[in-house]
């Protein structure tokens, strides 16, 4: 399980000198060039006004796996506050589930592809290209703070006919949070997606699949159904594109829900695996489905 690191307190202030200001300007220019080279989508927004940018996953010694995966390190430090939930998220009469569904109630050779932790400015567009090539629709469980920084990419996912769902604001374990924090994590994300797309999501996935009674109740109050998975590619650990592809090909079953990731680190292996396994599944007669429309 991921370990957390403590961030510097926002109360600590210092008075920058001339050299510090010059160094800051150089750094800002470097960041701008990096975004240009990385083809960051136009219109991507900064963090909410007055808030510090969300920190990325801290690098592990030697730049190893710890620097790449949400599975090991969350964006936000323990106790970090999400933006306040407004009143625009529509509440629907959704029953409280005892647990998240892990399969879909479909018959025949039908399977659902789901992708977590995006949108990512580099890998999400690559995933979209693969899906477009093979005419596959998928469900994207988005991190709210990533969606905030990549708004045009959120719209691009929806424009391609994919289903957009809620994966919390900052990827914490919901079963460790107060009810108020859970509502903030899920509600703020739904509110953002509603503003961007004109409708709040009808499906949610807890980070790590870690639901509890309180978080399932909040999920229902916000008009969402919880969804887990039955085929885990373990792509977050970057085991190699062949292993990721084999997990999908060997694990495919009627109504199965495949878990993969388009964000949270280097997802080049996932992109390569999808290029390999999707046409083979289609050749074997499999079709890809989305969860039934949610209550919104």
Q: Find the catalytic residue in 39, 116, 171, 175.
A: 116
What is the full DSSP assignment across 126-165? HHHHHHHHTT---EEEE-HHHHHH-HHHHHHHHHTT-EEE
Q: Find the catalytic residue in 120, 162, 171, 261.
A: 261
Residue 283 annotated to the active site: no
DSSP 3-state of 203:
strand
Residue 175 annotated to the active site: no
Residues in the chain, overall count: 296
Per-residue exposure over 217-247, b if at least 16 CB sit within 10 Å of its own CB, e if not: bbbbbbbbbbbbbbbebebbebeebeebbbb
Distance CA 108, CA 51 (A): 49
Distance CA 205, CA 142 (A): 9
- Catalytic residue set: 116, 261
């Amino acid at each position: 399980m991921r370990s957390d690191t403590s961030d510097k307190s926002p109360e600590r202030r210092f008075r920058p000198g001339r050299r510090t200001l010059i160094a800051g300007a150089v750094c800002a220019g470097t960041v701008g060039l990096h975004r240009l080279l990385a083809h960051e989508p136009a219109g991507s927004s900064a963090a909410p006004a007055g808030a510090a940018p969300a920190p990325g996953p801290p690098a592990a010694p030697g730049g190893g796996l710890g620097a790449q995966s949400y599975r090991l390190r969350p964006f936000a430090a323990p106790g970090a506050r999400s933006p306040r939930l407004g009143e625009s998220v529509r509440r629907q009469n959704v029953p409280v589930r005892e647990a998240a569904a892990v399969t879909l109630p479909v018959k025949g050779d039908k399977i659902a592809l789901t992708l977590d932790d995006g949108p990512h400015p580099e890998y999400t567009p690559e995933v979209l290209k693969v899906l477009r090539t093979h005419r596959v629709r998928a469900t994207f469980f988005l991190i709210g703070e990533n969606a905030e920084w990549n708004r045009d990419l959120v719209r691009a996912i929806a424009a391609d006919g994919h289903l957009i769902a809620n994966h919390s604001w900052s990827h914490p374990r919901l079963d460790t949070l107060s009810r108020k924090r859970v509502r903030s994590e899920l509600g703020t994300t739904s509110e953002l997606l509603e503003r961007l797309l004109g409708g709040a999501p009808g499906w949610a996935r807890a980070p790590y699949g870690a639901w509890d009674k309180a978080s399932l109740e909040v999920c229902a109050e916000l008009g969402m159904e919880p969804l887990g998975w039955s085929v885990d590619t373990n792509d977050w650990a970057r085991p190699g594109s062949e292993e990721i592809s084999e997990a999908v090909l060997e694990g495919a079953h009627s109504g199965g829900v495949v878990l993969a990731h388009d964000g949270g680190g280097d997802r080049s292996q996932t992109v390569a695996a999808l290029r390999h396994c999707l046409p083979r599944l289609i050749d074997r007669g499999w079709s890809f489905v989305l969860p039934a429309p949610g209550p919104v």
